[in-house]
Amino acid sequence: SLHDFLREQTGIALRRSQTRISARRAQAKECQRLEIPNMSPLLCVRTLNHRDGESSPAEYSVSLTRADMIEFTMEH
């Protein structure tokens, strides 16, 4: 993963500070790329990561996933 590479090659360790999960309808371009019908449901996962010991964000990502082909497992 990118995080493993950064830690192993540069010593930079990232810490997940926020994960937001929401549902929405796919837009036309997303439907084409994901090969799904127009307006299909998607899960949108937004994550925010910081370097250990710092307050400024170091990474922000948005992932779109077909809602009919996903399983989330949360371990606590």
C-alpha 43/C-alpha 26 separation (Å) is 9
Q: Examine residue 1 and state whether it is found in any structural domain, yes or no.
A: no
What pLDDT is recorded for position 12?
86
What pLDDT is recorded for position 69?
84
Q: Examine residue 25 and state whether it is found in any structural domain, yes or no.
A: yes
Q: Which residue has the tokens 């989330």?
A: 72
Q: Examine residue 3 and state whether it is found in any structural domain, yes or no.
A: no
What pLDDT is recorded for position 52?
81
C-alpha 69/C-alpha 15 separation (Å) is 27
Sequential pLDDT tens for the chain (76 residues): 888 888 899 888 898 999 999 999 999 999 999 999 999 999 999 999 999 888 889 899 999 999 888 888 888 8
Rounded alpha-carbon distances, angstroms, from residue 70 to 23, 41, 51, 57: 12, 12, 29, 28
Q: Residue 52 has what DSSP assignment?
A: T
Q: Examine residue 7 and state whether it is found in any structural domain, yes or no.
A: no
**pTM value?**
0.76
DSSP 37-60: -TT-EEEEEEEEEEETT--SEEEE
Q: Examine residue 47 and state whether it is found in any structural domain, yes or no.
A: yes
What's the domain count of the chain? 1
Q: Examine residue 11 and state whether it is found in any structural domain, yes or no.
A: no
